[in-house]
Amino acid sequence: QAYNCLIHFYKRSDRLCNQWCDYLFNSFRNTRILTTPTNRELLLCVLGSCLTGLRAPCAVNLVTSMMVLGQDVWKNWEKTGKTEFVKVLKSLLEEGGPNVAENPHHRDIYRHIYDLIWQAVRDKIKREQVVQCLGELIAFNSEVANLVTDIIAIVDTETVLAEDKKDERSRLTATVREIERFLGDGLLKERLEIDTLGECGILKHPKKFFTTVIKLKTKLFYKQQKFNLFREECEGYAKLITELNQDLSSVTPTYIIEVIKSVIGYFNLDPNRVLDIILESFECQPNQHKFFISLLGEYLPDTRTMCELLSFKYSFYLSSNNEDKEVTPKSLYEVTALLIQHDIMKLEDVYPLLRPDDSEITKMADKEMRDAKDFVRKLNVVSTQGKNDDEEKEKEDRDKHENNQKFGLLEALVKVGAWNHAEKILCQLPTYYATAQPGISMQLCKLIHIILDPVYQVNSGLCPRIKVKSHQPLDNEHAPPQAETYEDLKLHVFPMLLALGPHAQADPILLYKVLRICKTALGIKDTAKYDSEVAGVVVPPDSPLYFMTLTLMDEVFLPSLSLLNSNCCLAEEIWSVLRHFPYEQRYRLYDQWKGDTTTAHPILLRSKAAVLKSIKKLMQRVSKENVKPTGRQLGKLSHSSPGLLFTYILSQIQVYDNLIGPVVDSLKYLTNLSFDVLGFCIIESLNDPSRARTKTDGTSISMWLNALASFCGAVYKKHSIELTGLLQYVANQLKAKHSLDLLIIKEVVAKMGGIEGIEEMTPEQIDATAGGELLRQEAASFTQIKNTRKSSQRLKDCLIEKGLAVPLVLLMAQQGNSVVYQETESDHLKLVGKLFDQCHDTLVQFGTFLASNLSQDDYTRKLPPLEQLLSEFHVNADIAFFLARPMFNHLINTKFDDLRKNDKLWKQRTGAEKQAKHAEAAQLVMEPVTAAVIPIYPPKVWEDISPQFCTTFWSLTMYDLYVPEKLYEKEIKKLKEAPAKLSDNKDLNTARRKKEADRLNTLMERLQDEEKRHKEHVERVMARLRQEKDAWFLSRTARSGNSRSAKNETITQFLQFCLFPRCIFTSSDAIYAAKFVSVIHMLKTPNFSTLICYDRIFCDITYTVTCCTENEAGRYGRFLAAMLETVMKWHAEREVFERECSGYPGFITKFRVTDKATGNDTDTVDFENYRHVCHKWHYKIAKALVVCLESKDFVQIRNSLIVLTKIIHHFPAIQNLATVIEKRIEKVCEDEKDKRQDLYIKARSYQGQLGARKAKMMKESDFHVVKGKKGEEAEAASSPAKKEREKGVEGVEEGEIRSSGKEKRRESERRDRERSSASKERNRDSESKERNSRDKDVRTSRERDSHSRDRNGQGEMGPPATSRSTPTRRSLDPDAGDRDPKRRRGEDKEREKEKEKSPVLDRLEKNEKLRKEKREKEKIKKEKEEKESKREKKRDRDDSVADSSVKKRREETERSESSPTRQNGSEEKRKSSSDRKR
C-alpha cells in the first residue's frame, strides 16, 4: 500500500510525494512499527522499490530517516543485531561519501558507535565482538578510525569522572588495548590523555613522554623570534627598498621574493615590517600593480596579517598621533582596492577597518536632507547672517567628507575598475549619498567613458569626418570589459549611470554620448529642426533600449539637467530623443522630474530653492516695456528647471491675468524641451483638484480658470507647443461630463484659428458673413487677431493626425444635453445658462474652424454623414445640419460639374436650363438627406410640411439667399482709393509701394469676381427654390376642409421644428431665419400665410424669451429685429406694401375686412388694416416684455433687457409704448441697484439707448389711423380679435388674424370667467351695501371716480388716447369706425350691454386696481370699527340722560351726512398719489 501511494503521489507532484513520505514516517514511528525487525526490513524493501522505480528524493529521505536502531539490536546481537548494525552504518557511510565529517548523517553515525562502545564498557556485549564490528567498519571506511578515536576520548573522560565504576574503566582500557591494532598508536597518542595511554599499556614511560611533549610545545609556541627593526638595521632595509623600487620590468616577482628572503635572513629583518615596505613601494608604483600583486600573493602567509597591517595604517590617520592632521593618502586606497580586486584580501575583511561607521554616514545623509528642506522652507525668511556664513558652512560640509575612508576606498575601487565590489559598498550606504561626492562621481564617469567607448565609436551618429576622442581600456584583467553591443551596455554601463543619478552632471560630455547612443539604438535620425509641436515618428516599444532610455531619462538625464547652469544644448539633445516618445510617457517623466525626483535629492532641493528665488525676483519686474531682457533671463532659468519655473509663473497668471501678454512675449527664448514642459504644466494646473472651478456664489466660472484658458490660447498661438496633450485632456474631461474645460478649446480656437464668436458682431459684420470668403476676410473680421495662418495650420494638423477632430465635435454636440440634465442638477440657473452657452458657442466656433481650414474633400471624408450623426451619435438636428452643411454645397457643386461634363451640348444651354441642371444636382444630393430626416420627427409633422422643405430650410445659409451688394461696393471702393493713399506713406519705398498697389488691385479684381460668382450662385438657388416651393405646404391643406386650421397647424410645425431652433443657433442663423420667411413670402409660396406666421411670432413672446439662455436671447433679439425690419419696411410706405404684399398669397385671408366707402372687397389685407395689425404686434411685444420685466425673475429680466437692446432700432416705435417700457426699466433700476448689478448695468444701458431714440418715435396717430373712444383703446389693443356672436357674423377687427376653433373656445371661456368674477364682485358689493347703507355712498362715489378715470385717463399698457374734449367713448375697433350704419347699429346695442360691465383692462392695470381696492376696503373697515367703538363708549356714558339720546342721534345723523364728502376727498388724494407713484 505504501508503495502504491508513493507511486500515485509522485506521478502527481513532488510536493505531494514529500508530504506523503513525511506522513508515513510519522505514522510508523508513532505506532512503533519499526521496533520489529521483520516489519522494518519489509518497509525498507518497499521503500527500496520506490527508490528503484521512482528515484524520488522523498523516498531517499524516508529510508534514511527510518534507519533507527532499536533495543532489540543489542539484545539479539549475536543473532541478527550485529548484521543489522553493520548494515545500517554502512548505508549511512555510503550515502555521505568518504568524508564522515561532511556526512549529513554524521550525528547518527556518532551516536551508534558511541552506543556500541558503551555496550562493551558495560559488558552487555562481548568485547571481542565489539572490536570485531568496529574493525569491519574501519576496514569499510578509514575515516571511521578518527571517529572511533574521538568517541573513545569522550568515553575516557566519562569513565574517569565516574570513580565508583572502576570496572567500566578497566573494561574500557582493555577495549582500547585490543582496538589499537585497527587505529594505530600514532592516532591514539595524539588524542588520548597520557595517563590513559599509560593505563592501556600503549606508553611504557608516561612521565618521560609527558616531559618531552612539554618541551616541544614550549619551543613551538612560547619561544619568541628576535628580528631587527628599521632603525636597528638600516642597511638591510635600504637594500630591500632598492630592490623593490628598481626597474621592475627587467625582473620577475619570483626573483624578487628570493631576494627578499635572502635579505630577511641575512639582516634578520622583521617580516611584518618588510610587508609594510612592500606595500609602501606598491603605493609609489600603482601602475606596477601586476608585479606587486603577484609578489604579495607569494609573500603573504595569510590575509590576517595584511588586515592587521592595514588596520594600523588606516587607524593612524584618524588617531591623535596624527599631529600634522594628514589625510589618508589616495595611494593607500588604491593599493587596498587592487588587493581586494585581485582577491588578495576580501572586502568583508577590510570594510570593518574603515571609518566612519555606516550608521554615522546614514545620520549625515539624513541631516543633509533636513538641512536642504529647511533651506527651502526658509526661502522667504529674511536672513540676518553675515555674507560669508553660508560659504563657511559649505566649506565645513565639504571638509567633513575629506577623511571619509569608506568614500576613499569606494573612489579607488571605481578607479581601478572593481565595479562589483564598489557596487556592494554603494548598496550599503544611503542612496546617491556616496556618488554625490565629486571624486567618486568623476571616477565613475571616467569608467563609463572607457566601457562604452567601442559602442559610441560605432553608434555616435556623427559625421565620419568629425574626430572622436577614444578611451583606452584599463590595464586590468579584473575590470569590466568594454561594451561591444547594446546588451553589454545594459549589463555594465546602465547600472553605473543609475548609480550616478543626477550627479552625472559632473560630466556633460558623458550625457551627450549616452543620448547619441540611445538615438541610434531607437532608430532616430538626426535632423536640424526639433519643433516642440511635432512629436516626430513615435518609436515602437520593441526598439532596443526603449524602456532603458525612459529609465535613464527619469533617473539621470533630466535630474542632471537641473544641476547644470543654463545648458540649453543638452536640453535640445534630450528633446531630440524625447520628442519621439508619446506625450503620455513624456508627461510622466516631467511629473517625476518636478516631484519625486526633486524631493529625493538634497542637492536638487537646494537647486529648486535657488530657481524659485530667482523667478520670484524676475516676475516682479515683468512688464510690457522690458520683455526682451526679462525674456532672456527667463530663458536661462528655464533651461535647467522648467517644471518648477512654469508652475510658479502659472500660479501668478491665475491671480494676475494682466501678466499674460508680457509672459507670452517673454517665452520666445525657451528651448523646445521647456515648451513641452510648459504644455504639461498647463494641463497640471488646469486639473488641480484643490481649486474650485466656479466662484463662491456658484453663478460664474472662476477667474483663475478664465485666466489659464486665455493664457493657453495666447501661448499656443505664439509658440510652437504640441497640442495633443491639451486636446486629449479636454476630450477626457468632456467624456467625464466636465464642460467647464470647453473654455480652453474656445480660447485656443479663437487665438490659433482666428475664429471668434460672433455674438458681439455689428449688423454690418453679420451682413458680411453672407458674402464670399474674401468679403468675410475684409469686412467681417472684427477682432485684432492676425497672422493665424501658421497657428491654424498647426491646430488643424494636430486634430487630423491624432484623430481628435471628429471626437471633439461629437463630444461637444452631445455635451449640451449633459450640461442641462446631468452636470448641473444642483447649480444656479445662471451658471447652467453660461455653461450651455459656452458649450454651444464652442461647438459653433470649432465647427466653423474645421469647415474653413479643412479642404472640402477632407471635411467630407472625416466627418460622419448626416444620417449617421442623427441615428448613431444621437446629435440634435440643428447641430447635425450645422456640421453637415459645408458638405452639401461641395457635393452639389461636384454633382453639378459631373452633369455639366457629361452634357456635350452644355455651351448651347440657356441660363434657365443650366439652373434646372443645378436644381437636379441638388435634388440628387439631398434625396438621402431627406430620407434621413423623416425618422427623426413625428409623423404628424409631415402632414403639414414636406421633408423636402425641412431639408431645404436646414441646408441653406445666407450665402445661398442673399448677396450683400452694398458691402461689396463699399470694399471695392475702399480698395480703389487705397493706392492713392500709398503715396502719402513715406515709410514705403518705390518698390514696396508698387508691390502693395499691385496687391490691392489683385484683391479688388478677386472681390469683383467673387461678387459675380456669388450672384450666379444665388440665382441658381432661387431658381431651385421656385421649382420646389409648390411641394412645400401641400398635403394636409389639400385634404383639410378647414383651410384656416390647416394654415395654423402648418405655421405651428414650421415655427416649432424649423424657425425657432435655427433662429437661436447663431446670430447669422437668426438673420437667415428672418430672411427665409421673407423669401417664402416673396416666392408666393402656396398655402403659406405670411400674416399668420408674423402674428404667431409677435403675439406672445413671453415664454420664448423666458426659456432662452443669455446668448440665445441675443440671437432671438436679432431675429425679432430682422423680422421687425421687414414689417416696418412694409408699414412705412404704401408703395412698398403694394409692391411686395398686395396680391401675395401670404396676405390673403378669409376674414374679410371691407371698406365699402373705398370699394375694396377682396381677401387681401389692405395697407391701413396692415398698419393696424402692426400696431397690435407692437403692443403685444410691449406687453410680453413688461410682464418679463415685472416678474422679479433674474432670467426673465435679463433676457427681456437683451431682447429690447437688440430691437432698439425698430421697437418701441410708438411714444406711449416707449413711456410704459421706460417706467418699467426705471423700476428695474431702482430694485436691482444694490442687489444684482449685472441687471442694473443692462437696464441703465438700455435706458440710455431708449432716451437717445425718443426723438425718432412717432405718435400713435402717425403710426396708424386712430378712431374710437379713449376708454376703448386699451380694450382694442389688448384684445383686438372680437366676434359678433349674437348676429353670427364672421368678422374681425382691423389688425386681427382670425383665430382657430380652439382659440375661439379659449377666448369664450376667458370671457365667461371674467363675467363670473364680475358677477361675484357685484354680489359682494350688494351684500356689503345691505350691511351698511352708509358705505354704499362711499363705494358708489369711488366707483364713479374710477370709471371716470378709466374713461378720461390713459392706460399704461394701452395705446395713448387722443386729446378730445367730447365725453363720448370711441374705440380703435374697425367695426366701431366702420361707415356701415347697419353694422354699427348692432354694435351699439352690444356696447350698451357692455357699459354695465367693468371694461376689460390690461392685466397689469387690473391687478394694480384690485390691490388698490383691497387696501381701500381694509382702511374703510378699520375706520368703521373705530367709529363703532367710539359710539359704544359714548352711548354708555350718556345712557342715563334721556334727552342726550336725542341729541346723540342728531349728531350721528349730521356726521353720517358729512362723512361721504370727506371720504371722497381723502380718496381722491390717495388715488392721485398712487397714480403718481405708478
Write the CB contacts of 415 (distance below 8 Å, at least 6 apart in sequence). Answer: 334, 337, 443, 446, 447
Give the pLDDT of residue 502.
93
Res 1388 pLDDT > 60: no
Res 1444 pLDDT > 50: no
* Chain length of the chain: 1478
- Provide the pLDDT confidence category of residue 189 given band limits of 50, 70 and 90: confident
The alpha carbons of the chain give a radius of gyration, in whole angstroms, of: 56
Give the pLDDT of residue 1308.
54
Question: Whole-angstrom Cα distance, residue 1336 to residue 1327?
Answer: 10
312-316, 1127-1131, 1244-1248, 1410-1414: least confidently modelled range: 1410-1414
Q: Give the DSSP per-residue string, 1131-1145.
A: HH-HHHHHHHTTT-G
Res 1391 pLDDT > 80: no
User: What's the mean pLDDT in 667-683?
Assistant: 92
User: What's the mean pLDDT in 1072-1085?
Assistant: 91
Question: Whole-angstrom Cα distance, residue 1146 to residue 1093?
Answer: 9
- Cell numbers placing 178: 585490543
Write the CB contacts of 405 (distance below 8 Å, at least 6 apart in sequence). Answer: 314, 317, 318, 328, 333, 354, 355, 356
Q: Give the DSSP per-residue string, 1280-1295.
A: ----BTTTTB----TT
Most confident of 157-161, 337-341, 823-827, 1284-1288: 337-341
Helix/strand/coil (H/E/C) assignment for every residue in 1067-1103: HHHHHHHHHHHHHHHHCCCCCCCHHHHHHHHHCCCHH
Res 1448 pLDDT > 90: no
Instruction: Convert 180-210 to b/e letters by CB count within 10 Å (16 or more is b).
Output: bebbeeebbeebbeeebbbbbebbeebeebe
Res 1434 pLDDT > 70: no
Share of the chain above pLDDT 90, in %: 24
Give the pLDDT of residue 819.
81
1046-1075 tens-digit pLDDT:
677 888 888 988 999 999 998 889 999 999
- Cell numbers placing 958: 445666407
Res 1287 pLDDT > 70: no
Helix/strand/coil (H/E/C) assignment for every residue in 176-193: HHHHHHHHCHHHHHHHCC
Higher model confidence: residue 901 or residue 277?
A: 277
Largest CA distance in the chain: 178
Higher model confidence: residue 1081 or residue 1355?
A: 1081
Res 167 pLDDT > 50: yes
The torsion defined by the Cα of 553, 558, 560 and 564, in degrees rounded to 10, comes to 150
Share of the chain above pLDDT 70, in %: 76
- Cell numbers placing 885: 452643411
- Provide the pLDDT confidence category of residue 212 given band limits of 50, 70 and 90: confident
Q: Give the DSSP per-residue string, 578-636.
A: HTTS-HHHHHHHHHHHHTHHHHT-HHHHHHHHHHHHHHHHHHTT--STTHHHHHHHHHH
Question: Whole-angstrom Cα distance, residue 254 to residue 251?
Answer: 8
Give the pLDDT of residue 1291.
36
- Provide the pLDDT confidence category of residue 94 given band limits of 50, 70 and 90: confident
Give the pLDDT of residue 1382.
36
Res 1285 pLDDT > 70: no
Cβ neighbour number for residue 826 with a 10 Å cutoff = 5
Write the CB contacts of 555 (distance below 8 Å, at least 6 apart in sequence). Answer: 497, 498, 501, 597
Cβ neighbour number for residue 284 with a 10 Å cutoff = 11
Give the pLDDT of residue 467.
80
Cβ neighbour number for residue 388 with a 10 Å cutoff = 9
CB 444 within 8 A of CB 500: yes
Question: Whole-angstrom Cα distance, residue 202 to residue 180?
Answer: 9
- Provide the pLDDT confidence category of residue 649 given band limits of 50, 70 and 90: very high
Higher model confidence: residue 1353 or residue 723?
A: 723
User: What's the mean pLDDT in 960-969?
Assistant: 88
User: What's the mean pLDDT in 1041-1047?
Assistant: 59
Give the pLDDT of residue 16.
47
Coil, strand or helix at 694? strand
752-798 tens-digit pLDDT:
888 776 666 777 888 888 888 888 877 766 444 556 788 888 888 88
266-275, 1101-1110, 1315-1324: least confidently modelled range: 1315-1324
Amino acid at 929: V
Res 600 pLDDT > 80: yes
Give the pLDDT of residue 397.
56
Res 1282 pLDDT > 60: no
Give the pLDDT of residue 1302.
43
Give the pLDDT of residue 228.
63
Give the pLDDT of residue 693.
79
**Looking at the whole model, is its pTM more than 0.85?**
no
Question: Whole-angstrom Cα distance, residue 1373 to residue 1296?
Answer: 10
| In the block, residue with C-alpha cell 551627450 | 512
- Provide the pLDDT confidence category of residue 1305 given band limits of 50, 70 and 90: low
Mean pLDDT of the chain: 78
331-357 tens-digit pLDDT:
999 999 999 999 999 999 999 999 899
1158-1195 tens-digit pLDDT:
334 456 788 888 899 999 999 999 999 999 999 888 88
Give the pLDDT of residue 1420.
85
Amino acid at 180: E
- Cell numbers placing 110: 556518532
Give the pLDDT of residue 1363.
36
Question: Whole-angstrom Cα distance, residue 897 to residue 889?
Answer: 12
